[in-house]
């Protein structure tokens, strides 16, 4: 059986049981192979834009005896798959901008799909970009691997375009989670926001923005304190 690290395990946990899954940017193919092994995915599409990672996914699927349960696709994002072929789409281990690019290019605007997104960078831009385009985050989970803390979100098309505030862009739905990793994520966000404020203060840029950022860091701290009180 394939063993996933905490980041990919968190992504897998947000995939609906029995769904047909596209794993975009599959690389090693561990996620899709694990989902198929457990029966959590009934069929898989392992997609990658580069040949070498796709070959690596092919080997993983072959060594697990899963080749008949999956299709390998070489291409950008969801190119080559129609919305009717898939229920859930995982896009993990990519930057927030690339994730938005893949969603924009696909243009799947159907609330029946779930997008399980695990961004490595530009996470607050991703949250704001999702709501600005008409998606909503249904659930969010944090996962820690070594010194890194990641977030994974389960997203659906909602048709309603919304602006999100800076707090939501920074922490998403993680204040709702009771998991210790969520508290760790919030601590990291608080520290990041404070650091940005301190750097801006030192370079004397935009004092209103500096004040806003300190207030945002304090707000994240208040969420953490409430969590501690239980
Ligand atoms: C860092 S790896 C992440 C692998 C795996 N999803 C994970 O989270 O461990 C990113 C993979 O995405 C692929 N990739 C990057 N841009 C892509 C795109 N537009 N469409 C499909 N695959 C892409 C890369 O070739 C690479 O294999």
Calculate how far, in angstroms, residue 225's C-alpha sits from the geometric centre of ligand 1.
37
pLDDT computed for residue 190 by the predictor:
98
Q: How far apart are the first and last CA of the chain?
A: 37
Tokens of 66: 């899963």
Atom of ligand 1 nearest to the CA of 90: 6
For 27-53, write each residue's pLDDT tens digit: 999 999 999 999 999 999 999 999 999
| Residue in this structure with the two tokens 């505030």, named with its chain if needed | 165
pLDDT computed for residue 139 by the predictor:
98
Averaged confidence pLDDT in the chain: 97
pLDDT computed for residue 204 by the predictor:
78
> In this model, does residue 54 exceed pLDDT 80?
yes
In angstroms, the CA 199 to CA 210 distance is 9
> In this model, does residue 205 exceed pLDDT 80?
no
Residues lining ligand 1, Cβ inside 6 A: 8, 24-27, 47-50, 53, 76-77, 92-94, 98, 102
Looking at residue 177, the DSSP 8-state letter turns out to be -
> In this model, does residue 142 exceed pLDDT 80?
yes
For 97-116, write each residue's pLDDT tens digit: 999 999 999 999 999 999 99
Calculate how far, in angstroms, residue 91's C-alpha sits from the geometric centre of ligand 1.
8
In sequence order, what are the residues at sequence separation of 6 or more whose Cβ sits closer than 8 angstroms to the Cβ of residue 87? 16, 19, 20, 21, 112, 113, 114
| Residue in this structure with the two tokens 């029966």, named with its chain if needed | 39
pLDDT computed for residue 227 by the predictor:
86
pLDDT computed for residue 206 by the predictor:
80
């Amino acid at each position: 059986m394939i063993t996933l690290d905490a980041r990919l395990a968190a992504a897998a946990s947000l995939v609906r049981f029995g769904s047909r899954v596209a794993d975009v940017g599959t690389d090693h193919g561990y996620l899709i192979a694990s989902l198929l092994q457990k029966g959590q995915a009934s069929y898989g599409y392992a997609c990658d834009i580069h040949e070498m990672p796709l070959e690596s996914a092919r080997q993983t699927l072959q060594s697990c005896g899963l080749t008949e349960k999956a299709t390998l696709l070489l291409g950008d994002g969801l190119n080559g798959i129609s919305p009717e072929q898939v229920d859930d789409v995982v896009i993990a281990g990519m930057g927030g901008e690339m994730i938005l690019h893949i969603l924009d290019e696909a243009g799947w605007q159907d609330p029946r799909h779930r997008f399980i997104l695990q961004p490595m960078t530009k996470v607050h831009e991703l949250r704001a970009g999702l709501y600005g385009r008409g998606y909503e985050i249904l659930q969010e989970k944090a996962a820690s691997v070594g010194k890194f803390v990641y977030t994974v979100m389960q997203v659906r098309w909602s048709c309603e375009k919304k602006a999100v505030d800076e707090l939501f862009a920074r922490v998403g739905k993680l204040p709702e989670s009771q998991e210790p990793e969520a508290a760790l994520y919030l601590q990291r966000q608080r520290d990041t926001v404070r650091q940005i404020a301190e750097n801006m203060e030192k370079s004397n840029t935009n004092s209103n923005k500096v004040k806003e950022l300190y207030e945002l860091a304090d707000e994240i701290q208040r969420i953490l304190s409430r969590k501690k009180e239980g």
